[in-house]
Amino acid sequence: MATLLSPAASGEPDRRDPPPLTDAWLAGITARLAETAESYDRSGAFPQANFDLLGREGLIGLTVDRRLGGRGAGYVDALRVLAAVAKGEPSTALILFMTYAFHASPDRNLRWPKAIYERLARQAVAGGGLIGTFRVEPELGTPVRGGLPKTVARRTEQGWEITGEKIYSTGSTGLDWFAVWARTEGDDPALGLFLLEPSSPGIRIEPEWDHLGMRATVSHKVVFDCAPLPFDHAVDVRKPEEWVAGPQADSRQGLWNALAISTIYDGVARAARDWLATYLNQRVPANLGAPLASLPRVQEKFGEIEALLHTNRVLIGEAARAADLGELPSATDANLIKHVANANAIKAVEIGLELTGNPGISRNNPLERHYRDVLCSRIHSPQADTILVGAGRAGLAI
């Protein structure tokens, strides 16, 4: 689990005051994370050293409210940090995003028991407190497509017991908290989040994550067998129909998902772009006598990459700035940003592969890793079919 920094005598977290989020400072974070990105890709291990670094730099509690010691960062600043982290090592960014979105949601202050939420918030400010929401199941798949989870919470004399399985559990072996999506037992179940510590009895992690890319997310299967938790750790449990409606808090969560996923995979594409620029300027074929970058055809294709990434920067940046002013896009528009930005990121890396040939798909170079990682953008909910059907229905007024 993530290491917490020791508390100071005053009771406040003993942490380094976070520096201004300048472009140069964030570039330094990117460079430090990039040093071990290949190693984490090959090992598939949880990137603990990366989170130790982010914790020391005061970045894990970035979106925690200022009254609890955080920076209270909005979309713009949080996405700038996620972009820098993703460009260095994207699995780290995906795990970090879950904690950012968790603390950014106003729902946490409205529905969660105050003492429990503040405990998690202060842990994040102190450099730990990583949390992941486990929703996907072997039979149900993602709950975005409807249906009740098979994972059940049973009330006992001491609290609750959770029984079930979750797959694609991002961050599994390195998180400090599991927020498990489950239903209560009985004919009229309630539905929601139950908070467990990974060290609780009855929890088993099955190391089955062995995917094409984003391998350091350690998104293994987590099995719960009567895993106990106190009564007040049923932190947000509602009737199923209450989860369907779209209050502003839920809209904000959807926007965090859309913009963060877009930002993370755009960061992967930008890492690929930077490597490609260096390669094209340094590669001098014997029959040419000049760098590949001097060829008009190469310049044209590289310009196409620049156009794709420029579009992403404008789409994501404008939506983030508007959201920080309280002007949230519709769910349809937010998901279209995600769809377009991810498609652009994939295309940008594919162009790099076209320009490099064999060197681009050699494991001696990072471009093939960037390509494997960026392809994973397609699997995040809501997926392309859901997004496009929703946009089509909205446009047709159906």
What's 63's domain CATH number?
A: 1.10.540.10
What is the C-alpha to C-alpha distance for residues 266 and 354, in angstroms, rounded to an integer? 19
One domain for residues 298 and 367:
yes
Q: Compute the average pLDDT of residues 10-25.
A: 67
Decide if pLDDT at 16 tops 80.
Answer: no
Domain of residue 106, residue span: 23-129
Q: Compute the average pLDDT of residues 11-19.
A: 53
**Total Cβ atoms within 10 A of residue 86:** 29
One domain for residues 274 and 381:
yes
Domain-embedded: residue 375: yes
Domain-embedded: residue 54: yes
Domain-embedded: residue 12: no
| 118 or 186, higher pLDDT | 118
Q: What is the pTM of this model?
A: 0.92
Residue 145: per-residue pLDDT: 58
Domain-embedded: residue 70: yes
Domain-embedded: residue 18: no
Domain-embedded: residue 286: yes
Decide if pLDDT at 372 tops 60.
Answer: yes
pLDDT of 47-87, one tens digit each? Answer: 999 999 999 999 999 999 999 999 999 999 999 999 999 99
One domain for residues 150 and 98:
no
The number of residues making up the chain comes to 398
Q: Are 217 and 85 in contact (CB under 8 A)?
A: no
What's 228's domain CATH number?
A: 2.40.110.10
pLDDT of 220-230, one tens digit each? Answer: 999 999 999 99
One domain for residues 143 and 229:
yes
Residue 148: per-residue pLDDT: 86
What's the whole-number average pLDDT of the chain?
Answer: 91
What is the C-alpha to C-alpha distance for residues 52 and 55, in angstroms, rounded to an integer? 5
Q: 217: which DSSP letter?
A: G
Decide if pLDDT at 110 tops 90.
Answer: no
One domain for residues 307 and 228:
no
Query: Last residue of a domain, which of 225, 243, 261?
Result: 243
One domain for residues 384 and 333:
yes
Least confident stretch, 15-24, 114-123, 172-181, 320-329: 15-24
One domain for residues 280 and 343:
yes
pLDDT of 289-308, one tens digit each? Answer: 999 999 999 999 999 999 99
Q: Nearest to residue 351, comparing CAs of 302, 306, 309, 310?
A: 302
Q: Can you spell out the DSSP letters for 363-376?
A: TTSTHHHHHHHHHG
Domain-embedded: residue 144: yes
Decide if pLDDT at 375 tops 60.
Answer: yes
One domain for residues 110 and 123:
yes
One domain for residues 237 and 335:
no
One domain for residues 233 and 262:
no
Residue 140: per-residue pLDDT: 73
Return the percentage of the chain with pLDDT > 90, whole number: 84
Query: Last residue of a domain, which of 61, 95, 129?
Result: 129
Query: Last residue of a domain, which of 190, 210, 243?
Result: 243
What's 337's domain CATH number?
A: 1.20.140.10
Domain-embedded: residue 122: yes
Residues 6 or more apart in contact with residue 129 via CB below 8 angstroms = 2, 4, 60, 61, 99, 120, 121, 122, 123, 176, 177
Q: Compute the average pLDDT of residues 344-369.
A: 96
* Total number of domains constituting the chain: 3
Decide if pLDDT at 18 tops 90.
Answer: no
pLDDT of 130-183, one tens digit each? Answer: 999 999 999 876 666 567 899 999 999 999 999 999 999 999 999 999 999 999
One domain for residues 183 and 283:
no
Residue 177: per-residue pLDDT: 98
One domain for residues 311 and 225:
no
Sole residue written with tokens 């984490």: 40
Q: Are 117 and 179 in contact (CB under 8 A)?
A: no
